Amino acid sequence: MKSYLSATRLMIIAGLLFLLFGLLCGVLGGLQYITTDFLSGSLPFYKLRPLHVFSVTAFIILSATGSVYYYLNDLHSLSSSVSKKAVLQSYIFTATSLIIIALFIAGVFGGREYLEYPPQLALPIILFWVLFGWNYLKIVKPINFSKAPVYYWMWGTGILFFFITYLESYLWLFPFFRDNIVRDVTVQWKSLGSMVGAWNMLIYGSAFYLMEKISGNKETARKPLTFFFYFLGFTNLMFNWGHHTYIVPSSPWIRITAYAISMTELLIVGNIILGWRKTVTEVQKNFHNISCKLLTAADLWIFLNLLLAIIISVPAINQYTHGTHITVAHAMGTTIGINTTILLASLYFIATQKDNNLYAENKKMIDAGYWLTNISLFIFWISLITAGYIKGKETIAFSNENFRDIMEHIRPILEAFSISGIGVAIGIFLMAYPLLKSFITSPKAA
């Protein structure tokens, strides 16, 4: 048990430190939108972007994994052998991440978009997921999955498909894929899109468990409707990546299937709207609970980003939005508004199990961070959508091929984006700092 607790704590502390570093890189990168000479000699944008993306991704993976282990221990009391593998996982991923960050700072690259590090460093990350999958199978082996709540299915799906899609993202190493641009781009975007869906399964599974613990209602995670939306999300994980490849001359059935499946997300939007009024009373009752407050914000961002995802999945619109700041808005809204918010809710729940006064003692700081993050993120999100709309319209509708002119037109919007991005970073820092302090100073926090 002691080693398990150390593993969870290590993952969460390392994840939060990667988050803070990623926020710093994001702020510096945003400032370079306004002042192109800012740190251009030591940390140019081509370094800051992968540093920001990888660090935030490391936070998501480590925090999600740490949360899953904590909840599984709550459900099953993990054995010492599982605990030792979890400790090994934390060391492997943290050490590999630090090496990757050092290489990026030194300007050493060798991978593909979003996985820019040399491909040899994929091997320890693959080992991380092998250990995670082995542990999970060992833990759930006695469970009757026909009666298991949905979060068991989501965690298992997330682990399995992250492993599969991560391997798939390295198919470019083989000439059969690398030497055919259409095949290469299609597989790369397919793997990356599905990979995000895989870690979403880990995060959303934790959200279901968290909601069950907060409300005391065990029925929601077992309802047939909940499983319907799980299988709908699973289908989207495998197929709705296709809207990223509309511009690739691949087989028409791929684009048609991707579009049809993307439109099924309307059912999820409808379910959110129908369920909203039923949850208002419960939300008001528990709004003093920081985890509940964060889950409420995530619910709103799920709604907004699903609407945006559906809009940009329409082929006639996608030709204007693809490769513009609208794509970034969707990615940032999902990563910050949904994933980061749910993970912070999870980490606060874990921390407050042993440190009951954590929220009360830091209420002003945490609440200020909560409101600053969400208000700034909305401005940030709208700014990116507006900039993307103008860029897409001028490029496609007006056939303006002068990139410099287009960027000058959207410069004031990008300045608003950069300033609001600083607000988002400060807000998340105000929420993350008390958590980090609690996990570092209190061994009982995890």
Please write the tens of the pLDDT for every residue from 11-49.
999 999 999 999 999 889 888 877 767 776 778 888 898
Question: Is 196 inside any structural domain?
Answer: no
pLDDT exceeding 70 applies to what percent of the chain? 84
Tokens 């510096």 belong to which residue? Answer: 28
Which range has the worst mean pLDDT, 328-332, 336-340, 367-371, 379-383?
328-332
Question: Is 201 inside any structural domain?
Answer: no
* Count: domains in the chain: 1
For residue 387, name the pLDDT band (cuts at 50, 70, 90). Answer: confident
pLDDT > 80? residue 382: yes
Separation CA 271–CA 265 (nearest Å): 10
Separation CA 1–CA 81 (nearest Å): 10
Question: Is 446 inside any structural domain?
Answer: yes
Question: Is 132 inside any structural domain?
Answer: no
pLDDT at residue 1, as a whole number: 42
Question: Is 166 inside any structural domain?
Answer: no
Cα angle at 94 between 93 and 95, to 5 degrees?
A: 95
Separation CA 11–CA 368 (nearest Å): 26
pLDDT at residue 133, as a whole number: 95
Tokens 């600053």 belong to which residue? Answer: 372
Question: Is 109 inside any structural domain?
Answer: no
Average pLDDT over residues 375-403: 78
Average pLDDT over residues 369-386: 93
Which CATH number covers residue 385?
1.20.210.10
Tokens 């570093």 belong to which residue? Answer: 21
* Amino acid present at 426: I
Question: Is 171 inside any structural domain?
Answer: no
Cα angle at 171 between 170 and 176, to 5 degrees?
A: 150
Continuous H helices in 216-251: 224-239
Question: Is 397 inside any structural domain?
Answer: yes
pLDDT exceeding 90 applies to what percent of the chain? 38
* Domain span including residue 325: 277-446
pLDDT > 90? residue 258: no
Q: Is the pTM of this model over 0.95?
A: no
> What does pLDDT average to over the chain?
83
